[in-house]
A and B are shown apart, each in its own frame.
Chain A
Amino acid sequence: MATEVAAGTSRRKLLPIGNRQDQVYWLFVLPVLLCLLVFFLLPLFQVFWISLSDPAVGPDNYIKLFDNRAIKRVVLTTLRICTITTVFSVVIGYMIAFTVAIAPPRTRSMLMFAILVPFWMSVLVRAFAWVTLLRSEGVINSFLMSFGAISTPLSMTNNEFGVLVGMVHYMVPYAVLPLLASMDGINPSLIAASRGLGAGPVQSFVKIFMPLTKPGIFAALILVFIMTLGFFVTPIILGGGNTVMIAEYITVQMQQTLRWGLASALATALLVVVLLLIGALSRSMDMRKMLGGG
């Protein structure tokens, strides 16, 4: 009985139809909904339609996704880069989040600032900054060569390595936020209890702290993976055409080879994968809480 009432009220909040106040509310939201419909959903539907109708009506483009060798290579490259980026970002993010979580308040706000600054920096700027650091005549190579640590420059750009560095760097803050949220949620007295009951610091970390951050780890993994799937600028600049990921490949199909149907099919497939992952993510965690919001 009580649950029925609760469900009833929450449903009314979700679908605010009926009283006058709610109608005014809809009036304000309507323009936004219309914009979304005209400029987002319709084009999206058009993309889907193109994927089924260009050059001929039918599922040909989707079949091609599975037996075209070039596409297979791009997909595999994308999955490999995204997986490696995700793992490194989450591992590095975990260490940073842990440092922040145990830092005293003043240090913490400084660290948080450092973590959030990249959010305000253009991805383009960051990719070029890495080029400056990593290229043959770049800062790192000339430094290493200046005292003879290496004789020929290491090749760190125009390849997968460069892409990975740029992408991990971009993604780490996104990994930190959900991880930090889950660490902040841990009651410090649990760790004290673990120590008091005989577990050393390492054991307490492995047996108590880590397991309690599992939802955060899961969220970080999926969030970072989703975001890396769509990477475009960083692979182009740091990969120099040698490391082609899906987003770049789609652009090439659209702008150069003009195979719009295939490009649309790829885009649609990517969208479906991302939506499935978001579904898994939102099921495991409250999204707003995960991103540190209120």
Chain B
Amino acid sequence: MTMHDTQGDLCIENLVKQYGNLRAVDDVSLRIRPGEFLTLLGPSGSGKTTLLMMIAGFVAADAGRIGLGGRDITDLAPEQRNFGMVFQGYALFPHLSVRENVAFPLKIRRRPKSEVEAAVKTALDRVQMTHLADRLPRQLSGGQQQRVALARAMSFQPSLLLLDEPLGALDRKLRVDVQMEIKKLHQELGTTFIYVTHDQEEALSMSDRIVIFRQGRIAQIGTPSELYDQPQSRFVASFLGESDFIAGTVQSIDGGIARIATPAGEILQNGAKHPSIGSAITVALRPEKIALLAQPTADRRNCLPGRIIAWRYLGGHLSFEIAVEGIGPIRAEIAAAEGQPFLQEGKRAWLAWQPQDGVTVTEE
């Protein structure tokens, strides 16, 4: 196999890591462009850390290869890869001050003293930690430690920054702040970021592209909006945001619109590639795409009858749970004003949406 990487691309090809019977990373191929903010997103145990550790060089690959700018680095020792890394739990050196922690990668590289001082100052300024430079890590709060870890990872201007759930230990409010800071840092530095998280909001708000992991495999790669609007599988549709699923059988296809028979009635679904007539199909539908109507209507072309089971008031909108005969409970999010007439348990309602609102997904 040859590597056709362009300048600076990080190229992952058919990477495998096996732990006993478990394939923690299972035939993963991925190309990361220079300067990109790429997020590895997946449930806990899906192999994100393992893949990141393989990129960093801490975990040896059982098969496959990693290339950087045309060079094979699969077997290169971690200290020779020149990647910055922010660990889960930060891994600040407890016996070194903030300043010494940040200087560590520079001193190891035997940079001249003046250069070390300047680089440490720049890095600490970037994360606004200069005033605490002489503290020990244990004298810092979680958020401050997190900043120091970032400063240390970038002080030597690595070409690639690897971050493993860097915000995992922070409380929610702080997390949003630091998300913004990291995003800003990425724009200022122009360094490639590979960011691991299991938090979908974090992934959606920060990334250029997201890789969704499932059981060691890539479920889907794409920009946040691609993944949100066009999930390919049931897994992606439900992992990233919420989705309702309607299963049925294709009856006919006419001009890109499939007519699908479901236990609750017939629906229409747009799509470029529909399965053949007579085969099973699953449509994923975002709850906010659904409208609730008192009567069926012609201008929304899909209409299924249901009964209100429950609702929650969520500030600007209402989240309804609606029983649809033969399909099960469906969630719908309705603007608070439009939902008012349906705040009654057992009330009949029509679920309506357009054929282009749904997405055909695989049943995985």
Contacts and interface: CB of A to CB of B under 8 A. Distances in A.
A212 B108 CA distance: 18
Given A212-B94, A212-B95, A196 B79 contact: yes
B156 A190 contact: no
Interface residues of B, number: 26
Nearest to A195: B78
Contact of A198 (B79, B89, B91, B94): B79
A196 B109 contact: no
Contact of A196 (B85, B88, B95): B85
A195 B91 contact: no
A98 to B, nearest CB: 18
A198 B105 contact: yes
Contact of B152 (A189, A195, A197, A203): A197
Contacts of B56: 196
B87 interface: yes
A171 to B, nearest CB: 27
A55 interface: no
B83 interface: yes
Interface in A190-241: 190, 192-200, 203, 207-208, 211-212, 214
A3 interface: no
Contact of A208 (B88, B93, B153): B93
B83 A196 contact: yes
Contacts of B109: 198
Interface string B206-222: 00000000000000000
Given A211-B95, A212-B94, A212-B95, A195 B77 contact: yes
For the side of the interface on A, what is the size category? Answer: 10 to 19
Given A212-B94, A212-B95, A195 B58 contact: yes
A122 interface: no
A198 B93 contact: no
A197 B77 contact: no
B108 A199 contact: yes
A197 to B, nearest CB: 4
Contact of A195 (B79, B95, B153, B162): B79
Contacts of A198: 79, 82, 105, 108-109, 156
A10 interface: no
A197 B58 contact: no
A86 B25 CA distance: 48
Majority SS at the chain A contact face: helix
Given A192-B58, A203-B108, A197 B94 contact: no
A197 B313 CA distance: 49
B203 to A, nearest CB: 23
A187 interface: yes
A192 B87 contact: yes
Given A196-B58, A198-B156, A189 B91 contact: yes
Contacts of B93: 190, 193-194, 208
A193 B91 contact: yes
A189 B87 CA distance: 8
Given A192-B87, A212-B94, A200 B79 contact: yes
A106 to B, nearest CB: 15
Contacts of B84: 196-197
B142 to A, nearest CB: 15
Contacts of B156: 197-198
Interface string B42-60: 0000000000000011100
Contacts of A203: 108
A120 to B, nearest CB: 36
Contacts of B89: 187, 189
Contacts of A196: 56-58, 78-79, 83-85, 87, 162
A187 B77 contact: no
B104 interface: yes
B105 A200 contact: no
A207 B104 CA distance: 9
Q: Which of A187, A192, A198 has the most CB of B within 10 A?
A: A198
B77 A200 contact: yes
Contact of A199 (B79, B83, B94, B162): B79
Q: Which of B78, B94, B156 has the most CB of A within 10 A?
A: B78
Interface string B107-146: 0110000000000000000000000000000000000000
Contact of B87 (A193, A200, A212, A214): A193
Given A190-B93, A208-B93, A197 B87 contact: no
Which 7 residue pairs of A and B lie closest in terms of their CB atoms, listed nearest first? A193-B91, A197-B105, A196-B85, A189-B91, A195-B78, A198-B108, A199-B108
29 contacts: A187-B89, A189-B87, A189-B88, A189-B91, A192-B58, A192-B78, A192-B87, A193-B85, A193-B91, A193-B93, A195-B57, A195-B77, A195-B78, A195-B79, A196-B56, A196-B58, A196-B84, A196-B85, A196-B162, A197-B104, A198-B108, A198-B109, A198-B156, A199-B104, A200-B79, A203-B108, A207-B104, A208-B93, A212-B95
